[in-house]
Amino acid sequence: MTESQHQGTHHVVHQTPLGTMHLAASAGQLTGAWFVGQLHGAREEDLGPRVEVADSPVLAQAVQELEEYFAGQRTEFTVAVRPEGTDFQLAVWEALNEVPFGFTTTYGAISKQVGPHAPAQAVGQAVARNRLMIFVPCHRVIAADGKMTGYSAGVEKKRFLLDFERPGEQESTLF
């Protein structure tokens, strides 16, 4: 069955250096990228039927881009994404997309960016609900004191991603 024959959401399972991920798409856009077992992970209704990568151009592109990322050949993703959330969550995720490869930011910096009086804790909750792990780089957010804080896929995965994006370099933080 080709993607054009899939009217709803469909998914593939993909192995990464950090573990198994579910990648979901609908209407030619990536709608989810979750690690198996993560907090706020994929629910059955988020995935739809499992398909072959070759049957879904958007999922094939997402897989290819992930492989290029982990091979050190890609620093930005171009696959079409469709995040789903509240207006506040969407604003936070858009701010995450502005943090370039190799840099980090803080929850407080994002709270100032997304609106007046947005508490850093609310930003943290929105970051934790990111449905597009790696593609929307929530791993690039750290505490104001530079400490590694929660990551819905596990702090060890966050540390890996940050170290991977900054091999042998000093930390670069955007504020």
pLDDT, one tens digit per residue, over 94-132 is 999 999 999 999 999 999 999 877 888 899 999 999 999
Residue 126 CA to residue 85 CA, distance in Å, equals 9
pLDDT, one tens digit per residue, over 34-87 is 999 998 888 888 899 999 999 999 999 999 999 999 999 999 999 999 999 999
DSSP three-state, residue 72 = coil
pTM comes to 0.89
Q: Which domains does the chain have, with CATH numbers?
A: 3-70 (3.30.160.70), 87-165 (1.10.10.10)
Mean pLDDT of 136-143: 94
In 3-state terms the chain splits into helix, strand, coil percentages (rounded to 5) of: 40, 20, 45
Q: What residues act catalytically? A: 138
Write down the H helix ranges in the chain.
Answer: 44-47, 57-70, 87-97, 107-114, 120-128, 155-165
pLDDT at residue 12 in the model: 97
Confidence of residue 145 (pLDDT cuts 50, 70, 90): confident
Confidence of residue 3 (pLDDT cuts 50, 70, 90): very low
